[in-house]
Structure 1
Amino acid sequence: MSDSADSSGGAAAAIAALVEREHQLSVLFDAIADVTFVLNVEAVDRYRFVFANKAFEKTTGLPVAQVLGRYVEEVIPEPSLSLVLTKYREAIETMQRVVWQEVSDYPTGQVTGEVSVTPVPDEHGHCCQLVGVVHDLTKEKKVEAALRLSNERFAYALKATTDAIYDWNTGRDTLYWGEGFEDLFGHQLTENPTPFSKWADYVHPADSPRVVAGLRHAAFETTNLFWQEEYRFQRSDGSWAEVFDRGYLLREASGQAVRMIGAMQDITPRKQSERQQRLLAEKLIGQNADLQQFTYIVSHNLRAPLANALGFSDLLARVDKQSAVFDTSLHNLRTSLQLLDEVLADVNDILSVRDEQAGYRPEPVPLAAVCRQALLSLQDALQNAGGQLQLQIAPELHVAGSRAYFHSIFHNLISNAIKYRADARPLRIAIVATATPAGGLTIVVRDNGSGFDRKLAGDNVFQLYRRFHAGQTGRGIGLYLVRAHVETMGGQVVVESRPNEGTEFTLYFRPHADENLPH
């Protein structure tokens, strides 16, 4: 009896231990985030659920109580069921763990999981159970799909835009370029990403301190999120594009910049259009001012000799033809008519210049040869004045402009220097032309003549009929014509002068200035 009691007590203890162990395993499996289940293998393609953890219910939406005891075909929907049965058979036949991915529709929605089943053999080596684990990949797959879609949109955006999109990795100091970079600037990307320094090398040297150093300052020494600049960027053919560059800085919580996403936009046509509009506006404003001045002065200069002529002609009709008054009036009438003729000649010259400006087309002008041609008609006057002219213009120097305009400019400035020379010293004239490193041109015409008070003259030096030397004959339109010719060719002229010391005219022509003018 005691043996029987001991035996019964031992069995009860064993059962209790087994129940406790199953409870512990159940708690353990329920704590696992992955879906875990156990299937009894009852026959070919007959598998019954004998265990499922809480993750099974949470993932599928199927209560565990309704799953246990049911066959897989009652739980797993098609088309996943056919795939599952195939994998189960493979695990049983090979007695190896089998892994695959599947997508199934459950009450919770579509579930994507990585499934593995491991066969459990009985004492005879036959598979009696399958232990399954499902790692839920639904969220990861959604993120992957969203990322793939985002990348596709980004790729299409890169193809659609004409800008050069880039991604600057500040840690590695590299730039990843979109397709627009090659299309805009012609540089072939033999590697991508490229070193930051390669982009910096193409920034115009004059802009580099502001742009390259400014970008690094914004990224590493400020907390700014945005950066933008306009600058010149060298194309593969050596020409310069004008670009507008804007970037957004991505920073860590500490404020340290880690990346910058930006875009370079070629705004060269727009900037050229802006310059053309500005030059046109300046030209129209200047022409309007000149027209007002021209109208006032010409009308004033015409009115006086015309009124005098009318007065003297009326007087001649009323006085004795044999009297002294008649002779004096006749002389004065002729003088008035001569003045009227000179004013009309000036009007003709000025209108002719304006007609020429309307049809101006630049051509390569051999500057030294044109200057010598202008000097030929003034050579006698220069020698009679005891003057000398030093010409420092390289024979090979050609300038885009008008040959007739340069001839008129040199002729007027040299004749003025001869006319307004100083009696106290021999006349010396120097003409120097210098090409600037940027491709522009500077012409200086200097003399040691009588000069004039530049401050007193103010801004009226180049106005019509403006004269600075009393007692000297002159019509007062030479400097007006000089300025008109220079500005038509896209240049600028300034003058410096001091009484009894001399005068210096400086003509500035920007690189290809004539090409920026509206013709």
Structure 2
Amino acid sequence: MYNPADTSGNFVAANKALAKREHQLSVLFDTIADVTFVLNVEGEGRYRFVFANKAFEKTTGLPVEQVVGRYVEDIIPEPSLSLVLTKYREAISSMERVIWQETTDYPTGQVTGEVSVTPVPDEHGRCCQLVGVVHDLTKEKQVEKALRISNERLAYALKATTDAIYDWTISDDSLYWGEGFEDLFGYQLAQNPTPFSEWADYVHPDDSPRVVAGLRHAAFETTNLFWQEEYRFRRANGTWAEVFDRGYLLRDAVGRAVRMMGAMQDITSRKQAERQRQQLTEKLISQNADLYQFAYIVSHNLRAPLANALGFSDLLTRVDKESVVFGASLQKLQTSLRLFDEVLTDVNEILLVRDEQAGYRPEPVPLAAVCQQALQGLHEALQAAGGQLHIMIPADLRVAGSRAYFHSIFHNLISNAIKYRAESRPLRINIVSTTAAAQGLAITVRDNGSGFDRERAGDNVFQLYRRFHVGQSGRGIGLYLVRAHVEAMGGQVTVASRPNEGTEFTLYFRPYADENLPH
């Protein structure tokens, strides 16, 4: 007999489960460092806030409860308001994500951010909501301003000749140093002048052929009056300074070099700032791509199982619980909720990786040992597959990075090779490292597995939820994590693959990355 009370109870339980999931999603968004908000698109070009995460309140100083339910014109002041309204209309018209930068005054002060809005269509294809993400660039802009000011001060300092001034007397091959040499590099000169060879000994061995030999070539084999180079110079404490050295050659009546007056400028801080700025730019580009993928996950991967769950929960309220339809619908509801949970788990793992990268500090990592540790966890799977793995990395090779990141990289690449092996031949995996002064370090992970069509895959290899092997289970985030870890350590990763031949991943890390690490 049909029992309305039972149906009502199931409906309430389903609603509670749905409410719990919505709460979990809200908590998830509140862990995101970037400002995230959702706007309802209403008539006459008006937009009402229906969601804002905690980062919204932290960044703007506006309490979330005072924002949700209000229109954008009540929250965003001019002149930013006119700009955002224009961008909202552009997103709705094109039904594509729109990105821009804006600076707005809030209770917390002036905030500069990169804003993106993504239109969400209803069942008729019309935009019903806008999902917005704001990445706060305020600190980065302040760093850029500070760097500009620092460069200006450096120019004035050069005019004041506070660098290491020297006078090279070519006839007796000696260098007389001004006071700046001791101040910049920490040496206490026992005698002054010093032999030219003493300066040459402090030049980094990899730079010496270019710098020392280049200077002598300019002095003795050309008629040049000016010489300049950038190179690494050893300080008294054993670390390396990056210097810009320029000099003026005095020549006699027949063109022979007799003296050179010059100045060594310590540009270590400037070079580090330039590298940080480059890394920041690359990070922002990467984060923008990640945000695009994250918006895709929210609008598609989460939306589909959630919509299915809602449909089946509604159906369950209208059919007899003893019927075949009820049982099948309940099973499909459970499947939808499980898929929903899996996507949430993936997103949580991705967010954890990004949080870890924010606090990343490099350490000297013994690559061969870490690779062996990663293999231990996969040894049984490798044996079961009848495979062999050869690690050709010097035992004493240490690289500036994160031990946990390298462990994750090796684990993912080895497990992928095992999973996607070719059934027609025994699996072989080779992990090889090569080093060169100019190119830095390259780590190659090569297998003879089933491979895939690299050209067809295009730029999607390392994106979320991209899989290239039919009939194999997988979550599609392993290679995303590999790229994230490599780039967090300042490296790059490439892949080459051909169907039924195998796959080769190459990890590149810049030269001299570990020079100033503690030993």
Q: Which TM-score band (shorter chain)? A: 0.5 to 0.7
Contact residue 491 and residue 513 of structure 1 kept, 8 A? no
Contact residue 162 and residue 184 of structure 1 kept, 8 A? no
Residue of structure 2 equivalent to 1:406: 406
Give the SS at the match of 1:232.
strand
> Is 1:431 aligned to residue 423 of structure 2?
no
CA-CA distance at 1:263 after TM superposition: 1.2
Contact residue 275 and residue 516 of structure 1 kept, 8 A? no
Q: Report the AA paired with residue 431 of structure 2.
A: I
Contact residue 239 and residue 516 of structure 2 kept, 8 A? no
Residue of structure 1 equivalent to 2:270: 270
CA-CA distance at 1:291 after TM superposition: 2.2
Tell me, in whole angstroms, the C-alpha distance in 2 between the residues paired with 1:364 and 1:171.
Answer: 45
Contact residue 309 and residue 337 of structure 2 kept, 8 A? yes
Residue of structure 2 equivalent to 1:477: 477
Tell me, in whole angstroms, the C-alpha distance in 1 between the residues paired with 2:227 and 2:511.
Answer: 31
Residue of structure 1 equivalent to 2:207: 207
CA-CA distance at 1:464 after TM superposition: 0.8
CA-CA distance at 1:336 after TM superposition: 2.2
Q: Report the AA paired with residue 211 of structure 2.
A: V
Distance 1:488 1:514, change over 3 A: farther
Contact residue 461 and residue 479 of structure 2 kept, 8 A? yes
Distance 1:303 1:264, change over 3 A: same
Residue of structure 1 equivalent to 2:384: 384
Residue of structure 2 equivalent to 1:247: 247
Residue of structure 1 equivalent to 2:307: 307
Distance 1:192 1:403, change over 3 A: closer
Tell me, in whole angstroms, the C-alpha distance in 2 between the residues paired with 1:163 and 1:317.
Answer: 81
> Is 1:463 aligned to residue 478 of structure 2?
no
Contact residue 489 and residue 514 of structure 1 kept, 8 A? no
Contact residue 243 and residue 265 of structure 2 kept, 8 A? yes
Tell me, in whole angstroms, the C-alpha distance in 1 between the residues paired with 2:172 and 2:439.
Answer: 39
Residue of structure 2 equivalent to 1:63: none
Higher relative contact order (CA 8 A, sep 6+): 2
Residue of structure 2 equivalent to 1:501: 501
Q: Report the AA paired with residue 178 of structure 1.
A: G
> Is 1:231 aligned to residue 242 of structure 2?
no
Contact residue 226 and residue 247 of structure 1 kept, 8 A? yes
Contact residue 446 and residue 505 of structure 1 kept, 8 A? yes
Contact residue 174 and residue 193 of structure 1 kept, 8 A? yes
Tell me, in whole angstroms, the C-alpha distance in 1 between the residues paired with 2:188 and 2:196.
Answer: 16
CA-CA distance at 1:389 after TM superposition: 2.4
Distance 1:462 1:218, change over 3 A: same
Distance 1:500 1:506, change over 3 A: same
Tell me, in whole angstroms, the C-alpha distance in 2 between the residues paired with 1:237 and 1:439.
Answer: 27
Structure 1's unaligned 5+ residue stretches are 1-156
CA-CA distance at 1:463 after TM superposition: 1.1
Tell me, in whole angstroms, the C-alpha distance in 1 between the residues paired with 2:365 and 2:216.
Answer: 46
Residue of structure 2 equivalent to 1:286: 286
Residue of structure 1 equivalent to 2:451: 451
Give the SS at the match of 2:460.
coil
> Is 1:491 aligned to residue 491 of structure 2?
yes
Distance 1:438 1:209, change over 3 A: closer
CA-CA distance at 1:475 after TM superposition: 0.8
Distance 1:187 1:447, change over 3 A: same
Distance 1:387 1:209, change over 3 A: closer
CA-CA distance at 1:311 after TM superposition: 2.5
Residue of structure 2 equivalent to 1:357: 357
Residue of structure 2 equivalent to 1:333: 333
Tell me, in whole angstroms, the C-alpha distance in 2 between the residues paired with 1:400 and 1:225.
Answer: 41
Tell me, in whole angstroms, the C-alpha distance in 1 between the residues paired with 2:173 and 2:343.
Answer: 71
CA-CA distance at 1:510 after TM superposition: 4.1
Residue of structure 2 equivalent to 1:48: none
CA-CA distance at 1:503 after TM superposition: 1.4
1:84-110 Cα offsets, whole Å, 9 max, x none, are: xxxxxxxxxxxxxxxxxxxxxxxxxxx
Distance 1:513 1:296, change over 3 A: farther
1:395-441 Cα offsets, whole Å, 9 max, x none, are: 56555543432332222112111111111111122334567679965
Contact residue 489 and residue 513 of structure 1 kept, 8 A? no
CA-CA distance at 1:168 after TM superposition: 3.0
| TM-score with structure 2 setting the length | 0.60
Q: Report the AA paired with residue 463 of structure 2.
A: Q
Tell me, in whole angstroms, the C-alpha distance in 2 between the residues paired with 1:252 and 1:325.
Answer: 103
Give the SS at the match of 2:414.
helix
Tell me, in whole angstroms, the C-alpha distance in 1 between the residues paired with 2:368 and 2:205.
Answer: 33
Give the SS at the match of 2:302.
helix
Give the SS at the match of 2:459.
coil
CA-CA distance at 1:366 after TM superposition: 5.0
Q: Please tell me whether Structure 1 or Structure 2 has the larger radius of gyration of its CA atoms.
A: 1
Give the SS at the match of 1:505.
strand
Tell me, in whole angstroms, the C-alpha distance in 2 between the residues paired with 1:197 and 1:412.
Answer: 50
Residue of structure 2 equivalent to 1:344: 344
**How many equivalent residue pairs?**
360
Q: Report the AA paired with residue 348 of structure 2.
A: N
Tell me, in whole angstroms, the C-alpha distance in 1 between the residues paired with 2:404 and 2:193.
Answer: 55
CA-CA distance at 1:449 after TM superposition: 0.6
Tell me, in whole angstroms, the C-alpha distance in 1 between the residues paired with 2:514 and 2:343.
Answer: 32
Report which stretch shifted further, 385-394 or 251-260.
251-260
> Is 1:165 aligned to residue 165 of structure 2?
yes
CA RMSD of aligned residues (A): 3.6
Distance 1:377 1:196, change over 3 A: closer
Distance 1:396 1:385, change over 3 A: same
Q: Report the AA paired with residue 247 of structure 2.
A: G
Residue of structure 2 equivalent to 1:420: 420
Distance 1:173 1:376, change over 3 A: closer
Contact residue 187 and residue 235 of structure 2 kept, 8 A? yes
Residue of structure 2 equivalent to 1:50: none
Give the SS at the match of 2:464.
coil
Q: Report the AA paired with residue 264 of structure 1.
A: M
Tell me, in whole angstroms, the C-alpha distance in 1 between the residues paired with 2:174 and 2:367.
Answer: 50
Q: Report the AA paired with residue 168 of structure 2.
A: W
CA-CA distance at 1:301 after TM superposition: 0.8
Tell me, in whole angstroms, the C-alpha distance in 2 between the residues paired with 1:349 and 1:330.
Answer: 29
Q: Report the AA paired with residue 345 of structure 1.
A: T
Residue of structure 1 equivalent to 2:7: none
1:92-146 Cα offsets, whole Å, 9 max, x none, are: xxxxxxxxxxxxxxxxxxxxxxxxxxxxxxxxxxxxxxxxxxxxxxxxxxxxxxx
Q: Report the AA paired with residue 278 of structure 2.
A: R
CA-CA distance at 1:486 after TM superposition: 2.3
1:457-501 Cα offsets, whole Å, 9 max, x none, are: 223221111111122111100011112222223333222222211
Tell me, in whole angstroms, the C-alpha distance in 2 between the residues paired with 1:365 and 1:202.
Answer: 27
Contact residue 232 and residue 241 of structure 1 kept, 8 A? yes
Contact residue 167 and residue 176 of structure 2 kept, 8 A? yes
Q: Report the AA paired with residue 315 of structure 2.
A: L
CA-CA distance at 1:195 after TM superposition: 5.0
Contact residue 449 and residue 502 of structure 2 kept, 8 A? yes
Contact residue 400 and residue 512 of structure 1 kept, 8 A? no
Contact residue 184 and residue 266 of structure 1 kept, 8 A? yes
Distance 1:199 1:370, change over 3 A: closer
Residue of structure 1 equivalent to 2:178: 178
1:190-215 Cα offsets, whole Å, 9 max, x none, are: 66545545544443344345434544
